[in-house]
Amino acid sequence: MSIMQMVYQAGLNNGLSANQARAFTAEVGRENDYNPDYIFGEHRDSQRDNVGIISWNQGRRNNLYDFLKKKGVKVNGRQIERSQRALDAQMQFAIQEMKTNPSYKMTKKLFLDNPDVSYRTAEKVLGKNFIRWDYAGNSLGANVRKHHAKRDKYYAKLGGIAKNSKAQDDFEPQPLSDNWDDFKAQFEPQQPEPLSDNWANFKAQFEPQQPEPLSDDWDSFSSQFESAQPEPQGMQPLSDNWDNFKLSLTNSEPQAQAAPMQLNTLPTLPTLTIDEQRTING
């Protein structure tokens, strides 16, 4: 089992939900890349000696050593035994800090007391309020983008999805406010609109609209479904009088037939005498 898996298991062993354990383990990866020399020993950073999974330093470092010894974890100088129980004890110490130290009450409220905490809420409150690394890049400057991206990468490896995360090149860190109320406001949910004090108005939002009552008058009711009868085009109503009806079907009288054509007669020729005929015939 890898160190990353062992840290995640330590979270589960101490009662964290899968959401909480993934988010916390991703922070450990951002802090030290699961380097066993750092997780089970000390390293120096910014003129401070840091120890353990989240690089506890100063008074928190000393408190961790005391806690581990009480839990029976072997501590040899600056070296902690490399085992699952040592990781379990470190995780238990972290949870105890959240529960008992007023400085981390926001982490307790938004992270520890919320098994379904979103990744973005978890990484913000753990980074700013609990671990208190240079989340806004006040010292790291533009390099802080790499640290945010590294944390998201480890979270993805643990099976989480970093929703609504900015691209690494687009990440613009914001300075951490010195005002506690301003800091809390980043995590507090928006208040819903107050419910109306008027019961009738409240019920009206959920009651269905009443349909119009049916008419008791049959003619009025049936008229809703009857369509107007179209008038036939180019037709006159039938007459009740037989003669008038026949006239409407009878064509007009045919025109009179033309008079028969008269043939022209030839004129009558005069009758010739015998002597006249001889003269003509020569």
Q: Copy the structure tokens of residue 32.
A: 């030290």
135-192 pLDDT, tens per residue?
Answer: 999 999 999 999 999 999 999 999 987 765 443 333 344 444 555 666 666 666 555 5
pTM over 0.85: no
Query: Does residue 206 fall inside a structural domain?
Result: no
| Buried b or exposed e, range 20-39, using 16+ CB within 10 angstroms | bbbbbbbbbbbbbebeeebb
- Domain assignment present for residue 163? The answer is yes
Residue 279, in any domain of the structure = no
Asked if residues 63 and 96 have their Cβ atoms less than 8 Å apart, the reply is: no
Q: Which domain holds residue 167?
A: 3-185
Higher pLDDT pick, 257 / 25: 25
**Structural tokens at position 234:** 């180019």
The one-character DSSP state at 182 is: H
pLDDT tens-digit map of 219-238: 665 566 555 455 445 555 55
Question: Is 171 within the bounds of a domain?
Answer: yes
How many domains are contained in the chain? 1
Residue 234 lies in a domain: no
Rounded distance between C-alpha atoms, residue 33 and residue 19, angstroms? 20
215 assigned to some structural domain: no
pLDDT(249) > 80:
no
Cα–Cα separations (whole angstroms), residue 36 to 81, 115, 121, 184, 249:
10, 28, 28, 35, 115
Q: Which of 180, 178, 202, 122 is nearest to 154 (CA)?
A: 122
Q: How far apart are CA 121 and CA 131, in angstroms?
A: 14
Strands 56-57, 79-80: pairing kind: unpaired
